[in-house]
Amino acid sequence: TIPTATSRFNRAQSHDDNIFCSMQYQMSSVFRPLDVSTNELLQILPQDQLTRLFIILC
């Protein structure tokens, strides 16, 4: 389990784990609004406009 694994980390691994947790948290703050916006657009836009939008984004 995760608590068992983290208890076996050495100091460097613990430091790296903390950095990765922080990065994951920061990235979620960037991508969460995009996720919500995409979900809203999928519900309100007609299919032809969605296709055009996805072509532009990709």
Q: Provide the domain limits for residue 21.
A: 2-57
pLDDT of 3 = 86
Question: Rounded distance, CA 42 to CA 18, Å?
Answer: 35
* Count of the separate structural domains present in the chain: 1
pTM (predicted TM-score):
0.56
Question: Rounded distance, CA 28 to CA 34, Å?
Answer: 10
pLDDT of 1 = 67
Give pLDDT tens digits for 4-47.
Answer: 888 999 999 999 999 999 999 999 998 999 899 889 988 999 98
